[in-house]
A and B are shown apart, each in its own frame.
Chain A
Amino acid sequence: MPGKDRSTRRHFLKAAGSAALAGTVSRVTLRPAEATPAMLNSAIRNVVGEAPLRAGKVKLDIPPLVENGNTVPMTVSVTSPMTADDYVKSIHVFNEKNPQPYIGNFYLGPSAGRAQVSTRIRLADSQKVVAIAQMSDGSFWSASVDVVVTLAACTEEL
């Protein structure tokens, strides 16, 4: 507001605030909530806790180039003897840029015989997908794949 020198700064902040808010709103309309690498890390930490996460043992099969993000075939297999005292307890799959970082949690046991799970997932953008396996001894192993998506899963208006 001109003429009121003392409150210029306040007005500026107000204006800046509402501009920022408007910016956020329009951004949300264009692309609703998006997970960030930080959300990915905290989602992983929720599962793994403070335990060390090592690369290896897990194989994540996703086509590196995906035409349609609405249905992407995915297979996770884990190298494990699957015996009563050495087996895969669970497999967790995460992503980086969907609206939320979780994709699925799969719980198996020694009777599975083979630690392998397949499903079809949605990917809202080209991004990194991470699979984590929890072994019966409490250790965690992981694998990640970068996927390029040409047609994103539909998070926009119908």
Chain B
Amino acid sequence: MASALINVPKKAKRGDIVEIRALTSHIMETGYRRTAAGEVIPRDIITNFTCRYNGREIFRADLFPAIAANPYLSFFTTATESGMFEFEWIGDNGFSQTASAAITVE
């Protein structure tokens, strides 16, 4: 259902600073909206995002209802070695999603 879009350069020189962009589809229901009948629509958001580079955490975010639907994050890291970036999203109602991307460092 949900799907993630990751953008990481495939190749980098050792020591390069690379941009990582991650987007996942999610409604990010704030919990502040109401139906026409006046009932509050329960909150359903992604609360945590983590990115690991060869197992080491390089970026983490706590998200709140003020993050737009389909949360997009862009951040940077220094390319040190070839390997994998692992991405993890955790949210309300047991939401959990992972994705990964490979990088070759020369």
Chain A residues near B (Cβ < 8 Å): 29, 32-33, 70-72, 75, 95, 98-100, 102-109, 111-123, 154-158
A158 touches B68 (CB 8 A): no
Closest 8 A-B residue pairs measured CB to CB? Answer: A113-B17, A118-B74, A120-B68, A113-B78, A105-B62, A71-B68, A114-B76, A103-B66
Listed stretches B29-37, B82-90, B97-105; interface member: B29-37
Docked-complex contact A106 and B59, CB < 8 angstroms: yes
Q: Can you report 13 A-B residue pairs in the complex whose CB atoms are below 8 A from each other?
A: A33-B32, A98-B65, A103-B66, A103-B67, A104-B62, A105-B61, A107-B59, A108-B58, A111-B80, A114-B76, A119-B73, A121-B67, A157-B38
Inter-subunit contact B74/A32 (CB<8 Å): no
**Chain B residues in 8 Å Cβ range of A104:** 61-64, 66-67
Contacts of B33 in A (CB 8 A): 154-158
How close is A12's CB to chain B, nearest CB, in angstroms?
Answer: 30
- Asked whether, in the complex, the Cβ of A109 is within 8 Å of the Cβ of B76, the reply is no
Task: Kindly state whether residue B7 has any CB partner on chain A within 8 Å.
Answer: no
Q: Could you mark each residue 18-59 of chain B with 1 if its beta carbon is under 8 Å from any beta carbon of chain A, else 0?
A: 000000000000101111101001000000000001001011
- Asked if B95 is at the interface of the complex by the 8 Å CB criterion, the answer is no
How many residues on B have C-beta within 8 angstroms of the other chain's C-beta atoms? 32
Chain B residues, Cβ within 8 Å of A105: 61-62
Instruction: Tell me whether B77 is interfacial, beta carbon within 8 Å.
Output: yes
Q: Is the interface of B mostly helix, strand, loop or mixed?
A: strand
A residues in contact with B32, CB < 8 Å: 32-33, 99, 155
The residue on A at minimum CB distance from B28 is A122
In the complex, residue of chain B having the shortest beta-carbon distance to the beta carbon of A110 = B78
Q: A32 vs B56: C-alpha distance in the bound complex, in angstroms?
A: 41
Q: How far is the CB of A43 from chain B (nearest CB, A)?
A: 10
Instruction: Report B-chain residues with C-beta under 8 Å of the C-beta of A155.
Output: 30, 32-33
Q: Report Cα–Cα, A104/B73, bound state, in Å.
A: 11
Alpha-carbon distance between A108 and B33 when the two chains are bound, in angstroms: 32
What residue in chain A is nearest B23 (Cβ atoms)?
A120
Contacts of A108 in B (CB 8 A): 58-59, 75
Contact between chains at A119 and B71 (CB < 8 Å): yes
Report whether B17 and A114 are in contact in the complex, using a CB–CB cutoff of 8 Å: yes
B6 interface residue, CB < 8 Å from A? Answer: no
Contact B77 A113 (CB under 8 A): yes
Q: Report the nearest B residue to A31, measured CB to CB.
A: B32
